[in-house]
Protein backbone atom coordinates (compact mmCIF):
# COMPACT_ATOMS: atom_id res chain seq x y z
CA UNK A 1 0.00 0.00 0.00
CA UNK A 2 1.24 3.48 -0.85
CA UNK A 3 1.83 6.18 1.75
CA UNK A 4 -0.62 8.49 -0.04
CA UNK A 5 -3.38 5.88 0.41
CA UNK A 6 -2.70 5.69 4.14
CA UNK A 7 -2.74 9.49 4.29
CA UNK A 8 -6.10 9.68 2.49
CA UNK A 9 -7.51 7.15 4.94
CA UNK A 10 -6.26 9.23 7.89
CA UNK A 11 -7.87 12.40 6.54
CA UNK A 12 -11.18 10.59 5.93
CA UNK A 13 -11.21 8.96 9.38
CA UNK A 14 -10.30 12.16 11.24
CA UNK A 15 -13.03 14.11 9.44
CA UNK A 16 -15.53 11.35 10.23
CA UNK A 17 -15.04 12.19 13.91
CA UNK A 18 -15.26 15.95 13.38
CA UNK A 19 -11.55 16.70 13.31
CA UNK A 20 -9.23 18.20 10.72
CA UNK A 21 -6.01 16.72 9.36
CA UNK A 22 -4.04 19.61 7.91
CA UNK A 23 -1.20 18.94 5.47
CA UNK A 24 1.95 20.25 7.10
CA UNK A 25 4.90 21.62 5.19
CA UNK A 26 7.55 23.92 6.56
CA UNK A 27 10.07 24.82 3.84
CA UNK A 28 12.72 25.95 6.31
CA UNK A 29 12.28 22.86 8.51
CA UNK A 30 12.57 19.63 6.59
CA UNK A 31 11.54 16.46 8.42
CA UNK A 32 8.32 17.80 9.95
CA UNK A 33 5.33 15.47 10.30
CA UNK A 34 3.03 14.97 7.30
CA UNK A 35 -0.18 16.06 9.05
CA UNK A 36 -1.35 18.09 12.01
CA UNK A 37 -4.53 16.55 13.37
CA UNK A 38 -6.80 18.85 15.37
CA UNK A 39 -9.61 17.25 17.33
CA UNK A 40 -12.76 19.16 18.34
CA UNK A 41 -11.85 18.78 22.03
CA UNK A 42 -8.71 20.92 21.54
CA UNK A 43 -6.19 18.08 21.29
CA UNK A 44 -3.57 18.36 18.55
CA UNK A 45 -1.32 15.63 17.14
CA UNK A 46 1.62 15.66 14.74
CA UNK A 47 1.24 12.57 12.54
CA UNK A 48 3.91 11.06 10.29
CA UNK A 49 2.71 8.53 7.73
CA UNK A 50 4.85 5.75 6.31
CA UNK A 51 4.12 2.70 4.25
CA UNK A 52 4.87 -0.65 5.82
CA UNK A 53 8.58 -1.30 5.51
CA UNK A 54 9.36 2.41 5.26
CA UNK A 55 11.63 4.19 7.69
CA UNK A 56 12.03 7.62 9.20
CA UNK A 57 14.80 9.77 7.76
CA UNK A 58 17.37 11.29 10.11
CA UNK A 59 15.53 14.62 9.91
CA UNK A 60 12.21 12.95 10.72
CA UNK A 61 13.82 11.21 13.69
CA UNK A 62 15.14 14.57 14.88
CA UNK A 63 11.65 16.11 14.55
CA UNK A 64 10.15 13.21 16.54
CA UNK A 65 12.75 13.74 19.28
CA UNK A 66 11.99 17.48 19.36
CA UNK A 67 8.28 16.75 19.75
CA UNK A 68 9.00 14.39 22.66
CA UNK A 69 11.22 17.03 24.29
CA UNK A 70 8.45 19.63 23.87
CA UNK A 71 5.90 17.14 25.25
CA UNK A 72 3.80 17.28 22.09
CA UNK A 73 1.52 14.53 20.79
CA UNK A 74 3.38 12.76 17.97
CA UNK A 75 2.86 9.43 16.27
CA UNK A 76 3.97 7.46 13.22
CA UNK A 77 1.32 5.38 11.45
CA UNK A 78 2.40 2.61 9.07
CA UNK A 79 -0.87 1.27 7.64
CA UNK A 80 -4.63 1.81 7.40
CA UNK A 81 -4.94 -0.59 10.33
CA UNK A 82 -2.61 1.62 12.38
CA UNK A 83 -4.77 4.61 11.45
CA UNK A 84 -7.91 2.77 12.57
CA UNK A 85 -6.33 1.76 15.90
CA UNK A 86 -5.04 5.29 16.50
CA UNK A 87 -8.48 6.75 15.69
CA UNK A 88 -10.13 4.30 18.09
CA UNK A 89 -7.74 5.34 20.85
CA UNK A 90 -7.73 9.12 20.30
CA UNK A 91 -10.89 10.29 18.52
CA UNK A 92 -13.62 11.85 20.58
CA UNK A 93 -17.06 10.52 19.61
CA UNK A 94 -19.24 13.40 18.39
CA UNK A 95 -21.91 12.62 21.01
CA UNK A 96 -19.39 13.44 23.78
CA UNK A 97 -18.73 16.90 22.33
CA UNK A 98 -22.19 18.30 23.02
pLDDT digits (tens, 9 = 90+) for 1-47: 899 999 999 999 999 999 999 998 888 999 999 999 999 999 999 99
Integer Cα distance of 21 and 13 in angstroms: 9
pLDDT at 98: 42
Integer Cα distance of 21 and 10 in angstroms: 8
CATH of 3-97, one of 3.40.1350.10, 3.90.1150.30, 3.40.50.300, 3.40.50.1100: 3.40.1350.10
Beta-carbon neighbour count of residue 10 at 10 Å? 23
pTM: 0.90
Each as own residue / partner, the long-range contacts of residues 14-20 (CB below 8 Å, 24 or more positions apart, any chain) are: 14/39, 14/87, 14/91, 17/87, 17/91, 17/92, 17/93, 17/94, 18/92, 18/94, 18/97, 19/91
Do the Cβ atoms of 47 and 37 come closer than 8 Å? Answer: yes
pLDDT reading at 94 higher than 70: no
Dihedral in degrees, nearest 10, Cα atoms 70, 11, 41, 87: -80
Amino acid sequence: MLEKDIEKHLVWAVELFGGKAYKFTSPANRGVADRIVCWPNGTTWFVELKKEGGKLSALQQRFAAEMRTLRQNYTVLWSKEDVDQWIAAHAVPKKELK
